[in-house]
Structure 1
Amino acid sequence: MELSLHRLRMLRELHRRGTVTAAAASLHYTASAVSQQLALLERDVGAKLFERLGRRVQLTELGMLLTEHAEEILAAVERATLALEEAQEAVSARLTAGVWASVASGLLPSALASLAAEHPGIEVRTRELAPEETADAVRDGSLDFSFVIDYTDAPTPWDPNLERAVIAVERLHAAVPAGAVPASSVPLLDLAEHPWILASPRSHFGRAVRVACQRAGFEPRIEHEVEEQATAMAMVAAGLGITLVSDLGLTLKPQGVDIVALTTPVMRTVSIAYRRAAARRPSLQLVIQAVRMAAAELGLGASESASG
């Protein structure tokens, strides 16, 4: 019997999520692709592993037995990876990272260029995800690490199986149509009468900005709901409203947009999340060091070290 690690990860996620659709979403595959791989796993094992109960899938006794061993096998693979890296004089590894647009454009180019020059054996591949999805993908094993955000005004729950290394501390600024706000800095309350362009409250960013506005004493009048900062700023440039943008997001600013500081800053922390079992991986620590240096060069460095 030959067991695929890829299929074992799908089995583990099916057990956690309860439906093929939910497992597929967490692993960023289609439901049909997951179903096909699970069917191949049953063929590899030569026994029935699943039973359908309406929309849910229930593991058989053999399925549960294999899931328990899958956890041990996948943990052993991670330990073996760590041991091999620690035994090498020159670190060689391939890591997959979860990113979003402002991190990919504002931090990664200089960080990965520096990493490639000093440690050419380390290859970092990226996958763009919504910030709300990246930590789950690390926990589930489909990513080695990811960038995550935590807002002062809307802290997010933290998975005890993950650790994080703080990379940067950003301020949020008002992005307004050119000439719309003559002052170089304003209280957030002074922006209450403007139409707003903002991410949905399902996102960390959209939720945090709404909370900040409420604390300032108003509910933002949201006329356009978009998720990406680059899209929001393009709409600001067209005169459709105002938004808030992070320090890293300023690299995406188009013509026709003024950036106005907030007199009472709205802050957010950018961290790298990784599994506790991977904390000692030399390659991971070298990536964290390179990204921290890139953030420090932009004036966004954070002195805080990894915290769970």
Structure 2
Amino acid sequence: MELSLHRLRMLRELHRRGTVTAAANALHYSASAVSQQLAQLERDVGVQLFERLGRRVQLTELGTLLAEHAEEILESVGRATHALENAQDGLSARLTAGVWASVASGLLPAALTALAADHPGIEVRTRELAPEETAGAVRDGTLDFSFVIDYSDYPMPWDPALAREVVAVERLHAAVPTGVLPDPAVSLNELAEHPWVLAGPRSHFGRAVRIACQQQGFEPKIAHEVEEQATALAMVGSGLGVTLVSDLGLSLLPPGVDIVALTEPVMRRVSIAYRAKGTPRPSVRLVIEAVRAAAAEKGLGASSTLP
């Protein structure tokens, strides 16, 4: 009997999440693809792993047993990978990272270029996720590491199974239609009467901005609720409202937008998260160092505290 690690990972997610759809979403596959791979796993082992209850798939007793062993197997594979990296003189590794748009455009190009020059054996692949989803994907083993954020007024709840290291600290700025605000700096209060273009309150960014506004005594008037920062900035450039944008988000700036400093600083800290068992893999450590260097070159040097 040969066990596919790929299929065992799918089995583990089904055991954790309870449905094929939830497992597929966590692994970024279609539900039908996961179903097909699980059916093949059942054929591989030659015993019944699943039973149908209406439209749901449930693990049998043997399926649960294999899923529990899958946890141990996949953890062992991770430890073996770590050990092999430590034993190599010339490091070779393939990593999958969770990113979002401003990190992918503002930090990664310089960091990965430098990493490739110094350590050509390390290959980093990226997967774009919402910032609030990336930490969970690291915990579940879908990603090797991810970028996460904390705002000065709204820190992200943290999972003790993960470790994180700060790589950059950003300031948020007001993004307004060209010519709307002539002053070089503005308080959040001065934006209270403007229409806003902002992500929804379930997103970490959308919630953080709402909290910052509430602390200044007002609720932003949301005219357009959009999740993508590039979309929000394009709408600001068309005169449809104002928003906030981070230092790294300035790389997404379209025509028609003025950037105005905030008199009350709103900051956010960008960190890299990885699984907390033992020390980070040598390849992940080198990525962290490369990203920190890229951030420092942009004047966004890491700090362990926020104002």
TM-score (structure 1 length as normaliser)? 0.96
CA shift, 1:152, in A, is 2.0
- Structure 1's consecutive aligned runs of 4 or more residues displaced over 4 angstroms after TM superposition are none
Partner of 1:252: 252
Corresponding residue SS for 2:57: strand
Preserved contact between residue 78 and residue 278 of structure 1 (Cα < 8 Å): no
Partner of 2:8: 8
CA shift, 1:278, in A, is 6.6
Instruction: Give the aligned residue type for 1:289.
Output: E
Preserved contact between residue 169 and residue 269 of structure 1 (Cα < 8 Å): yes
Preserved contact between residue 82 and residue 278 of structure 1 (Cα < 8 Å): no
Distance in structure 1 (CA, Å) of the matches to 2:210 and 2:31: 34
Distance in structure 1 (CA, Å) of the matches to 2:65 and 2:177: 60
CA shift, 1:302, in A, is 1.1
Distance in structure 1 (CA, Å) of the matches to 2:156 and 2:89: 39
1:61 paired to 2:58? no
Preserved contact between residue 200 and residue 207 of structure 2 (Cα < 8 Å): yes
Residues 56 and 155 of structure 1: is their aligned pair in 2 closer, same or farther, counting only changes over 3 Å? farther
Preserved contact between residue 197 and residue 241 of structure 2 (Cα < 8 Å): yes
Preserved contact between residue 78 and residue 277 of structure 1 (Cα < 8 Å): no
Distance in structure 1 (CA, Å) of the matches to 2:258 and 2:303: 30
CA shift, 1:176, in A, is 0.2
Describe the superposition over 1:272-296 as per-residue Cα deviations: whole angstroms up to 9, x where unpaired.
1111237331111000000001011
Partner of 1:274: 274
Corresponding residue SS for 2:277: helix
Partner of 1:42: 42
Distance in structure 2 (CA, Å) of the matches to 1:215 and 1:56: 46
Corresponding residue SS for 1:57: strand
Preserved contact between residue 195 and residue 220 of structure 2 (Cα < 8 Å): yes
CA shift, 1:55, in A, is 4.6
Worse-superposed segment, 277-286 or 287-296: 277-286
Corresponding residue SS for 2:124: strand
Preserved contact between residue 19 and residue 55 of structure 1 (Cα < 8 Å): no
Preserved contact between residue 131 and residue 149 of structure 1 (Cα < 8 Å): yes
Residues 249 and 41 of structure 1: is their aligned pair in 2 closer, same or farther, counting only changes over 3 Å? same
Identity %: 78
Corresponding residue SS for 1:277: coil
Partner of 2:106: 106
Distance in structure 1 (CA, Å) of the matches to 2:244 and 2:119: 37
Instruction: Give the aligned residue type for 1:23.
Output: A
Q: Which runs of 5+ in 2 are unaligned?
A: none
Instruction: Give the aligned residue type for 1:238.
Output: S
Cα RMSD after superposing both structures: 1.3
CA shift, 1:56, in A, is 3.9
Instruction: Give the aligned residue type for 1:212.
Output: A
Describe the superposition over 1:146-204 as per-residue Cα deviations: whole angstroms up to 9, x where unpaired.
11111222222111111111111111110000110111111101100000000011110
Describe the superposition over 1:9-36 as per-residue Cα deviations: whole angstroms up to 9, x where unpaired.
1111111111111111111111111111
Instruction: Give the aligned residue type for 2:180.
Output: A
Distance in structure 1 (CA, Å) of the matches to 2:147 and 2:130: 10
Preserved contact between residue 177 and residue 242 of structure 1 (Cα < 8 Å): yes
Instruction: Give the aligned residue type for 2:258.
Output: D
CA shift, 1:268, in A, is 1.0
Equivalent positions of 1:68-83 (< 5 A) are 68-83=68-83
Distance in structure 2 (CA, Å) of the matches to 1:303 and 1:173: 19
Describe the superposition over 1:208-227 as per-residue Cα deviations: whole angstroms up to 9, x where unpaired.
11111111111111111111
Instruction: Give the aligned residue type for 1:18.
Output: G
Describe the superposition over 1:65-91 as per-residue Cα deviations: whole angstroms up to 9, x where unpaired.
111110110011001101111111111
TM-score (structure 2 length as normaliser)? 0.96
Partner of 2:213: 213
Residues 110 and 28 of structure 1: is their aligned pair in 2 closer, same or farther, counting only changes over 3 Å? same
Instruction: Give the aligned residue type for 1:189.
Output: N
Corresponding residue SS for 2:147: strand
Distance in structure 2 (CA, Å) of the matches to 1:301 and 1:141: 29
Equivalent positions of 1:199-238 (< 5 A) are 199-238=199-238
Distance in structure 2 (CA, Å) of the matches to 1:130 and 1:145: 14
Q: Which runs of 5+ in 1 are unaligned?
A: none
Preserved contact between residue 154 and residue 208 of structure 1 (Cα < 8 Å): yes
Partner of 1:189: 189
Partner of 1:23: 23
